[in-house]
Structure 1
Amino acid sequence: MVNYKNWIEQIPDDTKISTLSIPGTHNSGACHTALPSVQCQGESITSQLEHGVRFLDIRVGRLFVGKNKNDLQVIHGKFPVKIPFPLELTDVLKEVYDFVENNPRETVIISLKQEGSNDWDNENDEFGNLIWEHYISPNKEKWYLNTDIPRAGDARGKIILFRRFGVRNEDLRNKFGFEASVWSYNTTDDDRGTFVVQDFCEVQKSIDLPKKIEYVKNLAKRAQDYTRDHDDKLFLNFTSGSNFFDKDCWPEPVAKAMLNGNIQDTFQKGVGIIVLDYAETDDWKLVKNLVDSNF
């Protein structure tokens, strides 16, 4: 029987991360009291990790109010994921640090993205420098910061940085994790060489959900076919999609539609990272299906 809390411990050291089936969560920190269209998960990050999730999607922006201009808060679009008090990135990272410290043969991928205000000086790497100096550099021993796709044995006890923000400084860029700063908006299949993304997010009406489900299944099948013989691409497959103005397209009903659409039927070994909303739905069914497929 698979131990979901420690399933990567059971993966051989020489296995490339890209060849696994990895459950992830969309807007992982959006698991607190918030606007109903903002909340994307029903369980904490710690609970997600303990149930087998190994890819966390974290979006951050400036604190709306706060004591330190270097502190960032977790947001969804332009909205805080926790009200009335902000969820700070420091607190999210502590949950992950604690999990990895307590489970030193595991690894967690963190996707870190800048969202919210557009007043960053990107010409001078203001956002990237803040992340490096305030969050990464003081904890470098906890991170896998090489730019390649690691093997399981290389990343045990560490957090793999999936960097969703650009860095112009070449010296910094070469020691700042896996670069994934750009892909086409609302894409159904965008191949960037080292990674491939399905992130069709403009689900305008519930009648669009079968189309979204098909895109998820298609990329899962493509990933499985590719990773059977290759290990040089990460496949990132978002099951999320929403429309702020239609409650039938908010994250929770979309998550239920994914289950009802039987996306798990395509969960075979090597389907890549499948990014879920409300991952705990039906006793973590999709998470367990993905983890099980690795064995």
Structure 2
Amino acid sequence: MGDILGLVGKRLGLGAIILLIISAIIFFMIELLPGDVAQAVLGQGATEENLAALRKEMGLDQPAIVRYLAWLKGAIVFDFGTSIVTGGSVASAIGERFANTLFLAAYAAMIAIPISILLGVLVALLRNSIFDRVANVVTLSFISSPEFFLGYILILYFSVKWGMFPAIASLNDGMSFGDLLYRTFLPALTMVLVVTAHMMRMTRAAIINLLASPYIEMARLKGVPPWRVIVKHALPNAWAPIITVIALNLAYLITGVVLVEVVFVYPGIGQLLVDAVAKRDVPVVNACCLIFAATFILLNLAADVGAILTNPRLRHPK
């Protein structure tokens, strides 16, 4: 247990250093963008006095390193400053949007994970069969298609032609949980189609790799049915790579939803990021990018820890 806690501590420390480096890259890359933020906010008709006053209010009259350190100090305590466009707290605006994104990612994960594992086991059982080949072709077709393309295809058929689901995932406070699931089904389905292939193929590869092991051959020689060999003998030892790919795809579901949220006008953090970039709302852009980076780092840490917990050889490398 001490080894695991030590490993988690080391990974958290490394993750903090990486996040610090990423925060600096995000801040200074945004600083290098062409144009004047104050001019973009006030418009072309702004006077020099108004521009100077806004630059002073936003701290743009100070050196970039001073502004970065001040922003980093606030970000540590989740104070990301004030939105240039709305004048409200960035943390408050992001909090609700990030909760919506987490709900959408969880919705997609609840569908994708069981389907992916089930398909992975089936194609491993039916390796080199017609079902295996068709499943691989279909899932690879989905993963090769951009998210926005899949989203528009789903809107065309499920919304326009068949009228089964709304094309826009509009949310409000008074809707029921069932209505929420109904309105967000198409964006969730889009993400499911994209991530299922990764998890299915990893499950298939992990199980097929274990089927050549001596203990699997012994189980077969004893007359154990093929499905029982996979489910009871191969699958438990394949959990390490499967958990890793699930955690990485969960990171994608949270950080890679920008295009999906834009297509379905879903009020998540990805849509907020796109709006902030269009309006040059720099504090919101900085905060969104930092949250995406932190989420990806934490889920990568979860993938490492999950793989170690499910594999005794990784827990005791000596």
TM-score (norm 2): 0.20
Q: Pick the structure with greater CA Rg.
A: 2
Structure having the higher helix fraction is: 2
TM-score (norm 1): 0.22
Structure having the higher strand fraction is: 1
